Copies of this chain bind each other. A is one copy, B any other.
Amino acid sequence: MSIKKAISQDISLDGVKPAVTKEQIVESISTIEKSAGFLIRIAELTVFEELYKRFKGGEVSIGEFTVLRAIGLNPNLRQGVLADALHIKWPSMTKMVNSLELRRLLKRVVPLHNRRSIELVLTPEGEAVVAEYAPEFKNAETEIFTTLDDEEYLQLENLLRKVAGWPHK
């Protein structure tokens, strides 16, 4: 149930005055939301829930799609570098890459000049999966950010880049 639905139901509960009024909730929100860190968490969950709807039951998870797309954009990206860039722990990345390799969506390549390292490339099947789900991802984004106009979207993007330590304007 959504917070909005919960609130509207609460304030009309059986005609009895509720313990928590809409005004109290909004007040609490105003207080809690002073923390941008908290808001990032809530926004992230909002994004996840929207993406989850579109990816569940599909061929790849949201995380797997993100990894595959990153590899598609950066063929021969080193596994550890990719893990660090996406904030995925190395053991988790190993497991994910194992699974994706078993499903023939990517290949591990060991370069001659440094046989400790592993580079990742998509198979044609992997590229097909990226192509298939990219529109879903895009549509989810459109849905998530409907409340922002173009300028606000770009502003948000740039501010988040700064927070994450990525290149920005």
Is B161 within 8 A of A19, CB to CB? no
> What 0/1 pattern do residues 31 to 53 of A give for CB contact below 8 A with B?
11111111111111111110100
Known: A38-B66, A47-B37, A114-B13. A85 touches B163 (CB 8 A): no
Query: Is A108 interfacial (CB 8 A cutoff)?
Result: no
9-residue interface stretch from A92-100, A123-131, A147-155: A147-155
Q: State which size class the interface on A falls in.
A: 35 or more
Docked-complex contact A20 and B156, CB < 8 angstroms? no
Residue of B nearest to A2 (CB): B84
Partner pick for A29 among B3, B20, B41, B166, CB 8 A cutoff: B166
Instruction: Select the residue from A26, A43, A147 with max chain B CB neighbours within 10 A.
Output: A43
* Chain B residues within an 8 Å CB radius of A167: 26, 29-30, 33
Would you mind naming 23 contact pairs between A and B with Cβ atoms under 8 Å apart? A1-B80, A3-B81, A4-B165, A19-B117, A20-B76, A28-B73, A28-B77, A32-B69, A32-B73, A33-B157, A34-B157, A37-B144, A39-B161, A42-B160, A43-B44, A43-B160, A44-B44, A46-B87, A46-B163, A152-B159, A155-B155, A156-B159, A159-B159
The one of B46, B84, B161 in contact with A33, judged by C-beta atoms closer than 8 angstroms, is B161
Enumerate chain B residues within 8 angstroms of A161, measured Cβ to Cβ: 33, 39
Tell me if A70 counts as interface (CB < 8 A to partner B). Answer: yes
Residue from the list B43, B113, B117 in contact with A163, Cβ < 8 A: B43
Chain B residues near A28: list those with CB within 8 A.
Answer: 70, 73-74, 77, 85
